[in-house]
Structure 1
């Protein structure tokens, strides 16, 4: 397998947000709990990074195997377009698992057995996206589950790993961490809606009953806009309620720039043309929000020192 195909099958570019979630978790932990085990955090990030890549491999593999459309197999699927052997793809998929298994085992040793249970649950959710008798990507719940898993579950896992040994981790701290993640969740949900509207015809041919196939493209576009409005509305609300630092309200100034990125998608839903623009907007918003939360944590730390 050449480098170009590996990048496409692993969708390694999507893993950039995995590090953003780590920064968000560390910043939140310092702001609300007062500490964060950076070693556990980095080990968790490496584990999530490899699991993310493996799941992307798995999704591409299962999508090709389950496809009912020859057009999808030959002209859309990365595996089909590159005429790659399924055996080779499977070998890479299984070979990569050695890294998260080893690092995950070390994390369990450093923390407790709950870490193992959490890891198993996360992996099962990821694999269920495209596997099983009723894959999540073939149901109307796929978009929501993916958005929640990526933008809430992963950061909360980081918070757990970084603070579980401190003795200060409480259920209220976990709930607050979930609330802090909500702007990112709605942004990720809009990205999933964008993906599914672009894939609408292909999904119909492959028998996938996604949320977009259920509500139609027009309603999906309206839901997409509502999701973005909620993203930008939540940030100042959370700041006023002191859930996140006041400085995060600066992120609202990105709205005009974000609009320029996703407005073309509202006019035409083309996977290779307008979907990347929406993803660019999502990454820009998420990174800015996370950066500002981190700045808030640094300001608090400096004030405590002075």
Structure 2
């Protein structure tokens, strides 16, 4: 049996040369949670100052590296805890399907953190060294999401942590490094993005409901039940759109930002896609639509902010 399995697999050399293995390991569908907030914070800063492109690129790359590293830590620790198998849906599969050594995945994640730290030094040199502390906390949150004795991902606070660190904080840091300040508008405009980033995690937990419950996780979806979790997900979409209407009505942002409503069909598809589904593979389109909602909403918001600046 063992020899037949080895024969069916590609050789390690070929596996490791296949860039798609490493691309899947970074879980690209989740990277929207990193680059969308950077774009929004920078677009908002256009209203206050001239943008330094070098800081924008540095912040964008650092955020993507931290998100990718967080995904790799997830892959590593879920494997070490015996939660991943070749049949697992939604994982990179580098370890359980492609045969890459777990230590390689862990070292790659640490390397990404190291590069992000070096980029962070450049950002601090051109803004404030207080960001070193904040950036360190963000990376710690990324590690402890699935690492450590009590991973955040195994608690009901995963969505809250993701929304706060990958939504609100990234927008505010991106805004601060360009303007040197934090405004009320920057804080308020980060709220719907934080909600949508949290929605990506909730969608992930709805998809993994049965497996997480079997393995003793206490995610928000498990605490409230699958059906209520879907209702909460739909409510998160609704609140995000209503929040933008409120900001526009109170003249805190331009009505151009209501371009975000063009992403409503994707949000509806995401919420409806979970209804009546119980198998993870059946819910993958809804999971994908949730991430796409965040992407579309975020980019449309950034475009609206830029248009309102130029007009």
1:45 matches 2:57: no
- The answer (yes or no) to whether the contact 2:69–2:112 under 8 Å persists in 1 is yes
- The answer (yes or no) to whether the contact 1:38–1:162 under 8 Å persists in 2 is no
Q: CA deviation at 1:158?
A: 0.9
Cα displacement string for residues 201-220 of structure 1 (whole angstroms, at most 9, x for unaligned residues) = 11122221111111111221
Q: CA deviation at 1:140?
A: 0.8
1:215 matches 2:215: no
1:249 matches 2:240: no
Q: CA deviation at 1:24?
A: 0.8
Q: Any stretches of 5+ residues in structure 1 without a counterpart?
A: none
In structure 1, how many angstroms separate the alpha carbons of the residues matched to 2:270 and 2:226?
A: 19
In structure 2, how many angstroms separate the alpha carbons of the residues matched to 1:179 and 1:54?
A: 28
Q: Any stretches of 5+ residues in structure 2 without a counterpart?
A: 1-15
Range 120-129 or range 237-246, more displaced: 237-246
Residue 36 of structure 1 aligns to a residue in which SS?
Answer: coil
Q: Match for 2:76 among 36, 57, 61?
A: 61
Q: Match for 1:190 among 181, 191, 199?
A: 199
Cα displacement string for residues 221-278 of structure 1 (whole angstroms, at most 9, x for unaligned residues) = 2212211211221121111112221112233254245323431222214433323434
Query: Which residue of 1 is the match for residue 140 of structure 2?
Result: 124
- The answer (yes or no) to whether the contact 2:33–2:294 under 8 Å persists in 1 is no
Structure number having the greater helix percentage: 1
In structure 1, how many angstroms separate the alpha carbons of the residues matched to 2:204 and 2:70?
A: 17
TM-score, scaled to structure 2: 0.84
Q: CA deviation at 1:95?
A: 3.3
In structure 2, how many angstroms separate the alpha carbons of the residues matched to 1:254 and 1:106?
A: 35
- The answer (yes or no) to whether the contact 1:54–1:93 under 8 Å persists in 2 is yes
Q: CA deviation at 1:290?
A: 3.5
Range 281-290 or range 20-29, more displaced: 281-290
Q: Match for 1:155 among 141, 147, 171?
A: 171
Query: Which residue of 2 is the match for residue 92 of structure 1?
Result: 108
1:27 matches 2:39: no
In structure 2, how many angstroms separate the alpha carbons of the residues matched to 1:86 and 1:281?
A: 29
In structure 2, how many angstroms separate the alpha carbons of the residues matched to 1:103 and 1:193?
A: 30
Query: Which residue of 2 is the match for residue 108 of structure 1?
Result: 124
Cα displacement string for residues 272-299 of structure 1 (whole angstroms, at most 9, x for unaligned residues) = 3323434334424543443344344344
Q: Match for 1:260 among 259, 269, 279?
A: 269
Relative to structure 1, the CA distance from residue 65 to residue 117 in structure 2 (aligned partners, 3 Å threshold; closer, same or farther) is: same
Range 273-282 or range 258-267, more displaced: 273-282
Query: Which residue of 1 is the match for residue 161 of structure 2?
Result: 145
Range 282-291 or range 196-205, more displaced: 282-291
Query: Which residue of 2 is the match for residue 133 of structure 1?
Result: 149
1:233 matches 2:242: yes
Relative to structure 1, the CA distance from residue 203 to residue 264 in structure 2 (aligned partners, 3 Å threshold; closer, same or farther) is: same
In structure 1, how many angstroms separate the alpha carbons of the residues matched to 2:294 and 2:138?
A: 25
In structure 2, how many angstroms separate the alpha carbons of the residues matched to 1:133 and 1:297?
A: 44
- The answer (yes or no) to whether the contact 2:58–2:123 under 8 Å persists in 1 is yes
Residue 147 of structure 2 aligns to a residue in which SS?
Answer: coil
Aligned pair count? 291
Q: CA RMSD in A?
A: 2.3
In structure 1, how many angstroms separate the alpha carbons of the residues matched to 2:79 and 2:210?
A: 16
In structure 2, how many angstroms separate the alpha carbons of the residues matched to 1:4 and 1:50?
A: 17
TM-score, scaled to structure 1: 0.85
